[in-house]
Each structure stands twice: as C-alpha cells, then as structure tokens.
Amino acid sequence: MVIGRIKGKYWAAVIAHRSKNIRIISVRREWPEEVNLYESEEI
C-alpha cells in the first residue's frame, strides 16, 4: 500500500509489482483518521 497527497488531498493505493511494471489494484481517498496517523509519523 502507498499513501500520498495530490493537490492537497490524501490518497491510498494498493499496488502490485509485475516485473518492471507497477500495477494499480485500487485507489481511494484517505479517511481523516488515516490522515492523522500518516501525518503523525507513528507508522
């Protein structure tokens, strides 16, 4: 899973590595609780 910010909004994506490619399985907006955890750096 990867978490990132695009234009000020947080997103989470599930990815799979396939040889030299990265396949996106699912992408969704982060919940406020997840954003708080991500920003606290306690992961």
Give residue-wise pLDDT tens across range 2-42: 988 999 999 999 999 999 999 999 999 999 888 888 888 76
Task: Supply the pLDDT for residue 34.
Answer: 85
What pLDDT is attached to residue 37?
85
Domain interval for residue 16: 2-40
Record the tokens describing residue 13, joined without a space: 């994506």
2 contacts: CB under 8 Å, gap ≥ 6: 12, 13, 15
> 0.85 cut: is pTM over it?
no
Spatial distance between the Cα atoms of 26 and 14, rounded to a whole number of angstroms: 5
Domain count, the chain: 1
pLDDT at position 9 is 93
The pLDDT score that the predictor gives to residue 35 is 86
Q: What is the pLDDT of residue 41?
A: 72
| Amino acid letter, 41 | E
Residue identified by tokens 């969704």 is 28
